[in-house]
Amino acid sequence: MIMKRIHVACRLFSTASTSASLEKTPTQPLQKCLQLAVIGAPNVGKSLLTNSLVRCPLSAVSSKMDTTTRNISASICTDSTQLVFVDSPGAVSTSHVRQTMKKTSATSGDRVLQDPERALQRAQHILVVQDATAPGAYIHHRVLHMLHRYSHVPSTLVMNKIDLVMRRTDLLPLVEILTNGQLSDNQQISTKPAQIGRLGKSLTTTPFLVQNSQNPPESDEKWKSQFRELIQKPTWKCSYSETRSLFRTICGWSGFERVFFVSSLNGEGIDELRQHLMSISPDGEWKMNEGMPTGESAQQLTIDSIRAAVLDTTPSDVAYSVQIRISEWEEQGEVLQIVGEIRCQKPRDGTLIIGKGGKRISEIGRRVNEHLHSLFQRQLYARLIVTCNGKLITQKK
């Protein structure tokens, strides 16, 4: 019942034509389906981009790294075409996982490391998300390693957060570096300042000279040997220092088919990107039932929502150490009653989460209820409790 309501909620974000088309069933002829992996460095906006593309807030979002700790699937159907996105965790190091997730389960840490590459294993297209405001003109070395390992899979560069860029013409030289000055069909990228939006075949002005090292490492035998060795291993089995050293002087990827400029926050450029992905979708059966826009359970989505709210409102050392579980999930008439338990390692952490006069836990609860109402589109109330070693922590008067 809950997942059906999520389906209805997602449809409310769609256009009238999209909603009408969703009445079709996966058994109809001439179906098209495109499976996409959404990858990138931490905190570039992969989850918010995925939510915008499927028109539904399925993935929990916060301002901190590691909000997404596993692959999350989400789909949208338009006419006879289905797009299936796999939103993956940000590419991080083993030491980062050990540091930030040392007090959580080992399984969670493993998935943070391994799931980005797992998302690529069945992908027919890769969306590489780049924060347009991030310092440094380069694609993350872990992402570059994955792109080289899956070079046979078409890819698109998505420049996100353009709403925060004051002078958008400044993005063009950056994109030229990130694409090595060309797209996969050897078409050169231009620096025409009036062009912003999708970079495609219409751009034919003066090409950019890639500002990588004067002596490309690809011509060095020692580098070639190291590349051949590391490219055989999954990215998560390579040390952070190994991939960083390998791609130290390599800033971009020449295999992108297209570049899109978007703002996942205000929706700018999202429709154009979605339309493009629909247009390149191959013939094939739908991978997900149209009534189930995600493979995640309603309870897991609720846990993700609580965790995101804790991350957004609580100091990092506390937020990353807590564990979330659902202790009650009960239908009471028309209202779904949820009790979420925030388990802390120390009583002091619990007191901090509750906050002075209960203000912080009230704010966390407000955010969770707001998100779940938007997601499930039904009457519900989520109450949050904080515990430590099985004991309830209460607000100090």
Enumerate long-range contacts of 168-174, CB under 8 Å, 24 or more apart.
Answer: 168/196, 168/261, 169/193, 169/196, 171/132, 171/196, 171/261, 172/196, 173/208, 174/132, 174/137
Count other Cβ atoms within 10 Å, centred on residue 388: 18
| Class of residue 354 by CB neighbours under 10 A (exposed 0-12, middle 13-18, buried 19+) | buried
User: Residues 6 or more apart from 80 whose CB is under 8 A from it?
Assistant: 21, 24, 28, 30, 31, 32
Tokens at residue 5, please?
Answer: 């309501």
The residues with which 167 forms a beta bridge, in sequence order, are: none
What pLDDT is recorded for position 184?
67
* Residue ranges in the chain modelled with pLDDT below 70: 1-29, 101-107, 184-216, 218-219, 396-397
Q: By three-state DSSP, how is residue 130 classified?
A: strand
Please give the CATH topology (third level) of the domain spanning 298-393: GMP Synthetase; Chain A, domain 3 (3.30.300)
The residues with which 82 forms a beta bridge, in sequence order, are: 33, 77
What pLDDT is recorded for position 206?
30
CATH class of 2-279: alpha beta
* Helical packing angle, 141-149 and 221-231, nearest 10°: 80
**Model's pTM, two decimal places?**
0.84
Assess contact for 138 and 128: CB atoms under 8 A: no
Q: By three-state DSSP, how is residue 20 classified?
A: helix
Residues belonging to the chain: 397
What pLDDT is recorded for position 103?
55
Enumerate long-range contacts of 343-348, CB under 8 Å, 24 or more apart.
Answer: 343/387, 343/388, 344/318, 344/386, 344/387, 344/388, 344/393, 345/103, 345/321, 345/388, 346/388, 347/388, 347/393
What's the rounded Cα separation, in Å, for the pair 39 and 256?
Answer: 14
Q: Find the Cα–Cα–Cα–Cα dihedral 291, 294, 297, 301, rounded to 10°.
A: -120
What's the rounded Cα separation, in Å, for the pair 145 and 245?
Answer: 11
Where are the domains positioned within the chain? 2-279, 298-393
Count other Cβ atoms within 10 Å, centred on residue 268: 15
Tokens at residue 370, please?
Answer: 């707001």
| Alpha helices, H only, 150-260 | 171-178, 221-231, 240-246
